[in-house]
Amino acid sequence: MKLYCLSGHPTLPCNVLKFKSTTIMLDCALDTTSVLNYLPLPLVHSPRLSKLPGWISKDGTINLEKKELLDLSTIDVILISNYHCMMALPYITEHTGFTGTVYATEPTLQIGRYATAHLMQLSFYSSNPEMNNFYHNNMKVTLYTFMSAFRLMTNLNIMIKNQEVVGFFLELFGAVQISPLSSGYSLGSSNWIIQSHHEKVSYVSGSSLLTTHPQPMDQSSLKNSDVLILTGLTQMPTANPDGMLGEFCSNLAMTIRAGGNVLVPCYSSGVIYDLLECLYQFIDSANLGTTPFYFISPVANSSLEFSQIFAEWLCHNKQTKVYLPEPPFPHAELIQTNKLKHYPSIHGDFSSDFKQPCVVFTGHPSLRFGDVVHFMELWGKSNLNTIIFTEPDFSYLDALAPYQPLAMKCVYCPIDTRLNFHQVSKLLKEVQPLHVVCPDQYTQPPPSQSHRSDLMLELQPPPMPYRRCSVLNLPFRRCYERVYILPELANSLVPSELKPGVSVANVSAILHSKDNKHTLQVTAPAPPSKKRKRVVEEPPVGGAPKPLLSGAVPLEPFLATLQKHGITEVKVEETTDGHILHLQAEDTLIQLEEDGTHIVCDNNEPLRTTIRDLVLRFLQKL
């Protein structure tokens, strides 16, 4: 069993697991941080921005260039754990000869579909050759391939829900079972269990124990894992999400009261649901009832609508609301009461509705493309306005760099609800996997806080770290496999009890292996041999081979048995290891020892077989 690590980014994983002749890709995230290497794409040409030198902050790393590690076309299935971890999917489905199936929960698929499309649209709307190059150079994907990739996904009708996979490629999956578990991080997010009858691998990616909107994390099913692959811990181990949420609200209220505008660069789903829910409770108490809230994104409407229809994937409180029936998220009410308005872009209706001061949620959080660039240009010069960063994926200083000098206030309250080190150690203590595999970064404190030994994983035995491009041999040996004994054979078996509670039976059967399922059935009766054939020509084959023997032949009872069978003249001679029995009338020797019996008998086949059978009576057959 091997693990190929294609990504070194701990929260944007891409690993391939080879297990029992199946090849399974676990997530295929796209690291987009290198987008920060590019200049923002303004709506109208900006002489200031275009004069900036093209600056390169650091090397962008893209997951999938290391093709030589593994032939990606051999991948049988791809498991997606949440919609942040599927942006590189089109590359795999379109450019690697991949012919397998992609599995994801329905919300992950639906939300991921438009989240990815959104990313593409944003970068293509701007129709900037440089941005196109970004995608071309790094991913070799075009909008077309993105779209066709998603078409492929729907065609295969791969929207599975929390299910045991027995569907499309049975011959492949006769070997392993795959099931998603709720991970509590986002709508429909999941961890995965990959197991056979005797082995269990858990894949934990982006999980949360906080009570937000998704279904709580299923922890107990992770128990008894042989290997647990751990990725996607919080990127902000020192920031408490609740505190950040409070800070977000108070800064927002302060700015509005002072007559300024608030800009929140964000993704179109995920944390925004929690932000809106928090604001829903906060608006009236903070007297913000008249302030307009705008959500601008090509997929704003879909995102808000889709969030309401996945009751099965929501936390208990929200489920109960659906039973009433009421929309589970309060943003429905915000929209109904016109407090929240959403637009596909700043063109069209928005420009006529736009009133200040206001709060705008829009993307992309990197501040490099999307409508957010426009608002930066519009509001950046006034110190009344505030930009509040909530997404933890991008360094806010890097994101703001090309806009400097800025007069607007800047607040950084990253909200990352994923597991922190404290929570994960507690979790691992509870589920007790035999081995833990995790990104290298988790085995040492972050470089910026090298004294914080609490910001790393300390386990016994120590976790196996992986880096980008490592290939790990996972440390367990498979010893057993499931086989089914068909009823007819089961009935024919003759068990004998060796000691209390332990019985053995000799099995001679025909083995059938199909779709990785093995069955044993009775051997067919041998075809009647043709007598005319010269028997000598063919050595006798077939029939059950003789079993192994165990035990010892006790002297006295054996002599008694011999006597019963008419063999009376026996001379017993004692040797160092046992006895030699001389059957004088028959001129035959029987050598009895603790671990062996030797019968020396010439040309008297009937006698030999009789003695043999008598000896066998005292021995156990295995």
Phi, psi at 458, each rounded to 5°: -120, 115
- Burial class of residue 141, CB neighbours in 10 A (0-12, 13-18, 19+): buried
SS3 category, 157: coil
Binding mask 81-110 for another protein (x = CB under 8 A): -------------------------x----
Three-class HEC string of 119-146 = HHHHHHHCCCHHHHHHHHHHHCCCHHHH
| The pair of three-digit structure tokens given for residue 349, joined into one six-digit string | 């209706």
- Please, which residue, 498 or 585, has the CB nearer to another protein? 498
Part in contact with another protein (CB under 8 A); list of ranges 4-12, 123-131, 286-294, 591-599:
591-599
Do residues 269 and 376 make contact, with C-beta atoms less than 8 angstroms apart?
A: no
Site residues for another protein, 135-194, by CB under 8 A, read 160-164, 166-167, 179
SS3 category, 159: strand
Part in contact with another protein (CB under 8 A); list of ranges 37-45, 302-310, 336-344, 392-400:
302-310
Part in contact with another protein (CB under 8 A); list of ranges 5-13, 414-422, 478-486, 574-582:
478-486
Part in contact with another protein (CB under 8 A); list of ranges 2-10, 125-133, 325-333, 573-581:
325-333
Indicate whether 59 belongs to the interface with another protein (CB under 8 A): no
CB 606, min distance to another protein, A = 12
Q: Give the Å distances, CA to CA, from 106 to 149, 226, 312.
A: 16, 28, 10
Q: Binding another protein by CB under 8 A: which of 44, 155, 323, 576?
A: 323
Q: Binding another protein by CB under 8 A: which of 524, 527, 533, 556?
A: 524
Do residues 517 and 174 make contact, with C-beta atoms less than 8 angstroms apart?
A: yes
Site residues for another protein, 422-461, by CB under 8 A, read none
Indicate whether 347 belongs to the interface with another protein (CB under 8 A): no
Do residues 146 and 90 make contact, with C-beta atoms less than 8 angstroms apart?
A: yes
- Please, which residue, 117 or 615, has the CB nearer to another protein? 615
Binding mask 192-221 for another protein (x = CB under 8 A): -----xx-----------------------
Indicate whether 615 belongs to the interface with another protein (CB under 8 A): yes
- Please, which residue, 405 or 501, has the CB nearer to another protein? 501
Burial 536-566 (b: 16+ CB within 10 A, else e): eeeeeeeeeeeeebeeebeeeebbebbeeee
Indicate whether 597 belongs to the interface with another protein (CB under 8 A): yes
CB 464, min distance to another protein, A = 23
CB 325, min distance to another protein, A = 4
How many residues comprise the chain?
Answer: 622
Through-space distance between the first and last CA atoms of the chain, rounded to whole angstroms: 33
Site residues for another protein, 490-509, by CB under 8 A, read 490, 493, 495, 498, 501-509
* 139-142 long-range Cβ contacts below 8 angstroms, 24+ apart: 139/30, 139/62, 139/64, 139/88, 139/91, 140/91, 140/95, 141/90, 141/91, 141/94, 141/95
Site residues for another protein, 542-571, by CB under 8 A, read 542-553
Q: Binding another protein by CB under 8 A: which of 54, 447, 527, 540?
A: 540
CB 87, min distance to another protein, A = 22
Tokens 């299910």 belong to 163
Phi, psi at 263, each rounded to 5°: -115, 125
Q: Binding another protein by CB under 8 A: which of 425, 492, 523, 561?
A: 523
